[in-house]
Amino acid sequence: MQRLRQSPNQPDFVQNPYDFYDRARAAGPFFLWEDYDTICATSHAAVNAILRDRRFGRETPPGQRMPVPDHLRPFYAVEDHSMLELEPPRHTRLRGLVLRAFTSRRIAALGPEIESLTHSLIDALPDGEFDLIETFAQHLPVIIIARLLGVPETMADRLLGWSHAMVRMYIPQRSRADEEAAARAAAEFSAFLRDHIEMRRKHPADDLLTHLIAARENEDRLATDEMIATCILLLNAGHEATVHTIGNGVKATLSEGCNPAAHSPAALAEEVLRHDPPLHLFFRHVYEPVEVMGQNLAAGSRIALLLGAANRDPAVWQDPHRFNPARTAAPHLAFGGGLHFCVGAPLARLELQIALPILFARLPGLALAGPATYADSYHFHGLTALPLIAKG
């Protein structure tokens, strides 16, 4: 197996990881990433197969669970109830109850609000040069999620702060300060939601939190800790990913000289998600000895699935580095797959399909006003800033 060394914090990699992915993929569907000391899957076929194979999973096997340090207990108190980190039967039960509240009908009903908010944010853009991430991309998803949950929009800045602090737990070489900030954010966010859930028990409303409280299967209901973890997951995963996707998508559209009006909103959104997805690496534990595409994997080991590499596999897409919404549709892996397919994918797609066409239609002279810089936040891949100017 090919062994490669590549720091995820190295500046050239941060700005463009795809050259490294191409080099890794050239030797086959798997390689050993020495910086992580982990076997990685790069091809679309390998990543897709492992995502759907029940011999792999997110939940750490009991014999491999490490004691939680005292300073991180508030963070892992949330993670212990997150469907993202669980396997059946707990995952099946939790996801089933959540989907009784987070229905496609309820998501579709947010369409007019997304449209109205998109126009409002565009109306508020300053004259001249502006940063799309700060003025638009960060606000749209967090306000929509606040409205969905029934949380006051005045909480948006605090929600953003909690989210930013908690997701830094997933970056390589996190510091003790990062860990303490994440734990503090988890404790504060949990306390806020616990109070808000109790208020909603007494005063129901037409929001997701009320419907999560009411969701049941026979006599089974979500516990308060499960509702807290679900709400935090929806914000942290949904918000962070959508911010990155909006920024990455607008950058690609403008950089490639693509005419967004020439493509359907769905085609534009799917190519944005394929071409430069917001999450590039997802881990899976190996639960039993298994062979995948000629590679033997030992029980108890861990494998990294490189979603960003899989989405540019030339075996699936012709000229994969080119941003082309007109290409023949093929199933990308930006939302994962199998049991853990992103529960927020319908909302993310709806936001992209509504917001991007409105943005380009309202600002037809939109152009890059400076370099777009990616954040040093792998496994995420998103911009720190996207300076734009609306010409004409």
Give the structural domain span for 172: 3-390
Q: For 117-151, what is each residue's pLDDT tens digit? A: 999 999 999 999 999 999 999 999 999 999 999 99
DSSP state of 319: S
Q: What is the pLDDT at residue 96?
A: 94
138 CB-contact burial (10 Å; exposed 0-12 / middle 13-18 / buried 19+): buried
DSSP string, 114-136: HHHHHHHHHHTPPSSEEEHIIII
CA separation, residue 132 to residues 121, 334, 351, 365 (Å): 10, 22, 16, 14
Q: How many separate domains does the chain show?
A: 1
User: Rounded to an integer, what distance in angstroms lies between the CA atom of residue 61 and that of residue 288?
Assistant: 11
Instruction: Give the model's confidence band at 237: pLDDT under 50 very low, under 70 low, under 90 confident, else very high.
Output: confident
User: Rounded to an integer, what distance in angstroms lies between the CA atom of residue 391 and that of residue 366?
Assistant: 6
Which residue in this structure is represented by tokens 């500046």?
A: 11
Q: For 198-219, what is each residue's pLDDT tens digit? A: 999 999 999 999 999 999 888 8
Least confident span in 57-61, 108-112, 169-173: 169-173
Q: Shortest CA distance to 343 belongs to which of 102, 2, 176, 109?
A: 102
Least confident span in 27-36, 70-79, 149-158, 221-230: 149-158
Residues above pLDDT 70, as percent of the chain: 100
Instruction: Say yes or no to pLDDT of 392 above 70.
Output: no
Q: What is the pLDDT at residue 1?
A: 86
Greatest pairwise CA separation for the chain in angstroms: 63
Q: What is the pLDDT at residue 240?
A: 86
Q: For 68-105, what is each residue's pLDDT tens digit? A: 999 999 999 999 999 999 999 999 999 999 999 999 99
Are 35 and 6 within 8 A, CB to CB? yes
Angle (CA) 229-340-234 rounded to 5° is 35
What's the CATH number where 285 sits? 1.10.630.10
Report the pLDDT averaged over residues 167-183.
Answer: 92
Q: For 370-390, what is each residue's pLDDT tens digit? A: 999 999 999 999 999 999 998
Q: What is the pLDDT at residue 328?
A: 83
3-class DSSP assignment, residue 327? coil
Q: For 324-336, what is each residue's pLDDT tens digit? A: 999 987 899 999 9
Four-residue CA torsion sign, 25, 27, 30, 32: negative
Instruction: Say yes or no to pLDDT of 361 above 90.
Output: yes
Instruction: Give the model's confidence band at 62: pLDDT under 50 very low, under 70 low, under 90 confident, else very high.
Output: confident
- The mean of the pLDDT values for the chain is 94
The Cβ of residue 109 has, within 10 Å, a number of other Cβ atoms equal to 12
DSSP string, 164-225: HHHHGGGSTT--HHHHHHHHHHHHHHHHHHHHHHHHHHHS--SSHHHHHHH-EETTEE--HH
Q: What is the pLDDT at residue 144?
A: 94
